[in-house]
Each structure stands twice: as C-alpha cells, then as structure tokens.
Amino acid sequence: MSIDAMWRLLHRWFGQADATVRPRASVAVQGSAGDGRPGSAVSEPHRLEQRLWRLLMQPAVASAGRVHLIDLGMMRECLGANWPVLRQRVFAAADALIDRSLTRNDISFRTSADDYVLVFASLDRHAAALVCARIAQDLLQLFLGDDRSADIRVSTAVGVVDGHIQFEHSFAKMLMANTRPQTEERRTADRAADRTALATTVTAAGDGSPAPSASPAYAGEEEGRTPVVLRQLRLSPDDSGRFGIKYRPVWDIGQLVISTYMGTPVRSFPDGSFVEGPAALESVTDAMEILKLDADALVGSVEILNGLFRRKSRLLMSVPVCFDTLAARRTRQPFLEICQSIPDYLRRFLIFELLRFPPGVPSGRLSELLHEVRPYCRWSFMRMDFKQQSFSGLAGTGLSGITMAMPADRSAEPRLMEEMNAIVTAAERAGLMICVTGLSTTSMVVAARAAGVRLVAGNRIGVPQDRPRAMKRLDWPDLYRENGED
C-alpha cells in the first residue's frame, strides 16, 4: 500500500473537518523536509494522522486486529427522535468510558459519521475487541437500560486491500457472551490447581515434612529447574478495609436544628482511619457487591429509624444508593423489594442519596430511575463534584437536591467561597436544594449560610458516628462556643 493511498485512507477516516479527533497523548512530530509528511509545526489532527500512519505502516498491524470501529448506528436508531437531544451526552459518556479503558499509547477518535475508531498499541485482537465490547455495553446500559433489542456493532480491521481496510463485524453482546465459557474454564483450572496444591500440602504434612508455605518458582532450564521458594503475603481480610456505613449530622441552618443524619459508605482500616463517600467504593466494581452494600445500608438505617419512631423520636435519615444498583433490572428489583417492605409511616423520614451516577446521564433516564424510588422516600439528592456547572438538565426529573463535598484545602477557601456562591445560584435556578458537606471551619459554615445553603455537614458540625443521635437544636452561639475547629 503506497503512502499516498494511506493518506487518502486516513483523510477518509477523519471525514469532514468537524470530525472530533481525540488523541490519548500529545506526540511531537519532527518531519524532515521533502518527505511528504507534516513538519513540527502541525495541527493536532495532523499529528494524530502521522501517529496513525506510523502504526498502520508497521507490518501486520491491521491483520493483528488492533484497529477497531464502534458503530453507534443501532443506538441512534433506538433513540430515534431523542438522538439529536442526547447526542452530545452520548459522546461525553463514550469519551469518559474510552478514557478509562485505553492506555496513553492507544488512540481513539470520532468520525464524521458519529462512530468511534480505536487503535490499540499493544493488545491482541481478542483483548481489544473485548475492551470495545465493554465500552459498547456500558453505553447501552447507560442510555437504553435493559432494552435487550438493542446492540452495538464492533468491527475489527483484519487487513488492507486496494487502500481499503477490511473489517469483520461482531456484536458487543456476542463478544461478551463468548468470554463467559473461557472464564469458567479458567476458574475450573484454577480450582483444580488449588486442589492439587492442597493435596501436596496434606501429603507433605503426613510424611512428617513441613508443609510448603509458598509457591515454587524455577531458576531456569540450564539449572535443572531448581525450585525457589517465594514468600507469600498473608494478611487478614480486614487489613484491606472493612466496608460499612457511618452517619454524619446535618445542620439545617434555616431551622437551626440537627434533624438529619447522612448515611455515608465508609471503608475502615485497622489503624482506625477510614475513607468515606464515593471514594470508599472506588475499589468495588462488581454490581452485586454494590447491591449488597446498598441493601445493608438501607436495612440498617430503616431499623434505626423504626427504633427511634417507637421511642417517639423523629429524625430524617439519608441512605446511599448507587447507580450500579438502580441501572440494571437484576440489581434494581431486589433493592426495590426491600423498599416495598418499608412501612408507610417511616418513608417520610427517609432520603435517598444517589451515588456514582456518571456525568451526562440523560434527564429521561434519571426521571425513570427516580420514579422507581420516589414512593419510598421523602426526598432524593444526588452526589456531585464540587464545581461550577449547570443543573438545568436535572430540573423536572423529580430530583429534590444535590450534595457536594467541599474540597479539604483551607488555603483555597476564598476561591471555594466564590465557587459555592455560583453553585448555589445555579441550583436555585433549577429548583434544587443543596447540601454542602466537608465543612471543617467556622468561616466556611458562615460562608455557606451567606451563599444561601440550607443544609451543611462536615467535621465542624459533627464527625461520623456509628449510630445517629436524637434531633437537637443548634444555634449559632452554640456553634461558636463548641471548640470543634481543626
């Protein structure tokens, strides 16, 4: 294939001038004079073209299955008239998923036909296709939910003929389904290996010789495969962190009362330290494990509420629920079954706080999920990043408010105060309440009141507790008298 043909191919890929090009990393290009390629002072698309040129001119790159196309045509058909409205949100979500899935040496860009081309620097064909399939399935789940009639086609480049890349086509669901038998085979092999190792240990112990406490490695064939015993790390499961839930007191500035306790997921460590909120769940990726954590938090919180109610004590309680739990029917339905068992008289004291919702969730999708949980709670809040943004897309979805955690940077307090003013203004325009957490100084609490924040939480108000306390009044003089400032 000639260089001229390759350039024509690349320009055809990029299509018209408005095609979005997304390189993973900037590449400095130093072209020699007269070589027909761009020099050092070139635009970003040209730098990416040259990088693609270098990749594709390597032997067997296309035939190795490292060039892939994610075809969003089926998603466009399913969204129908909603596609023009949701188009930019789909792209934002796809960009975020691709950013998490690709390495800095890989390349991705969107074509003028609104599809995505991904070029993998090192993955083989099978592994690269699986990465694309996972991206496609996450997009489908996010925007089409459990619509099993929809699928996204993943195309793999298998060669170049007459300047045209030849593709083989598969569907994301088929690619993901084909990996399950292989996964089961690997698990079976691992279990067999574990049984063999266990039998070896028992035999050695029965002979009076010490049982091996480490896996053997080999120094090499030339040394007769001499076994080298490696130490194995033996830690308690608790050393990696124990998951649970703690309750932060929330001060209602308008009513001057602590009437709400915010349930927040925590990951506690042996030294007594912990991380809380979405950060505590970053290491958890399995949807069923997330469901269990959400269910435990809900059941424990409702049981506490019921005990308070029986003692004629009233309190609002916020319960975390993750997008992973609500997004798919197989996890949403068991969670809703627990919700249905909550007595009517307790539902008015319950608040759901939505965690781990990806940015750019369509308002229709959010309305659908909120409709599912709305009968079982008083309010619903969504945890969002502390930054200036528009909340117009949340208006009318049924969401009651938003929760934002103040960054722990006392040196940046003046800037954070200005950002808080802008955030509150934007939330009021969308008809949303706002709760600001992470407040550790009196000055930030005062700034929150001045900005119009109604609900505040943080170490200045009270540290997380294993169980919420009774409702209590908290006036400004009380806050000033308490020596809780860090």
**Range with the lowest mean pLDDT among 141-150, 265-274, 403-412?**
141-150
The whole-number pLDDT of residue 63 equals 47
- The dotted CATH code for 238-481 is 3.20.20.450
| Stronger pLDDT, 101 or 239, i.e. the higher one | 101
pLDDT greater than 90 at residue 411: no
Cα-trace Rg, the chain: 28
CATH 3.30.70 fits 3-177, yes or no: yes
Confidence band for 202, pLDDT divided at 50, 70 and 90: very low
| 3-state DSSP of the chain | CCHHHHHHHHHHHHCCCCCCEEECCCCCCCCCCCCCCCCCCCCHHHHHHHHHHHHHCCCCCCCCCCEEEEECHHHHHHHHHHHHHHHHHHHHHHHHHHHHHCCCCCEEEECCCCCEEEECCCCCHHHHHHHHHHHHHHHHHHHHCCCCCCCCEEEEEEEEECCEEEEEEEEHHHHHHHHHHHHHHHHHHHHHHHHHHHHHHHHHHHCCCCCCCCCEEECCHHHCCCEEECCCCCCCHHHHCEEEEEEEEEEECCCCEEEEEEEEEEEECCCCCEEEHHHHHCCCCCHHHHHHHHHHHHHHHHHHHHHHHHCCCCCEEEEEEEHHHHHCHHHHHHHHHHHHCCCHHHHCCEEEEEECCCCCCCHHHHHHHHHHHHHHCCEEEEEECCCCCCCHHHCCCCCCEEEEECCCCHHHHHHHHHHHHHHHHHHHHCCCEEEEECCCCHHHHHHHHHHCCCEECCCCCCCCECCCCCCEECCHHHHHHCCCCC
The whole-number pLDDT of residue 78 equals 82
Cβ-Cβ contacts under 8 Å for 480 (sequence gap 6 or more): 442
| 29 vs 51: CA distance, rounded Å | 9
Longest dimension (CA), the chain: 87
Six-digit token string for 383: 């945890």
Which tens digit of pLDDT belongs to each residue from 325-377? 998 889 999 999 999 999 999 999 999 999 998 887 888 889 999 999 999 99
- Phi, psi torsion values for 203, nearest 5 degrees: -60, -45
Order of strands across the sheet with 21-23? 21-23, 107-110, 116-119, 67-71, 153-161, 164-171
Residue at token pair 């709400």: 260
Confidence band for 35, pLDDT divided at 50, 70 and 90: very low
Which tens digit of pLDDT belongs to each residue from 270-285? 888 888 888 888 888 8
Domain boundaries, the chain: 3-177, 238-481
pLDDT greater than 70 at residue 74: yes
Q: Are strands 379-384 and 350-355 parallel, antiparallel or unpaired?
A: parallel
pLDDT greater than 80 at residue 422: yes
| Stronger pLDDT, 113 or 134, i.e. the higher one | 134
Which tens digit of pLDDT belongs to each residue from 366-392? 999 999 999 999 999 999 988 888 898
Q: Are strands 153-161 and 164-171 parallel, antiparallel or unpaired?
A: antiparallel
Average pLDDT over the chain, rounded to whole? 77
Q: Could you tell me which of 302, 309, 315, 291 has the C-alpha nearest to residue 341? A: 302
- Stretch 312-322: mean pLDDT: 93
The whole-number pLDDT of residue 88 equals 87
| Stronger pLDDT, 166 or 267, i.e. the higher one | 267
| 73 vs 68: CA distance, rounded Å | 15
**Range with the lowest mean pLDDT among 33-37, 149-153, 195-199, 413-417?**
33-37
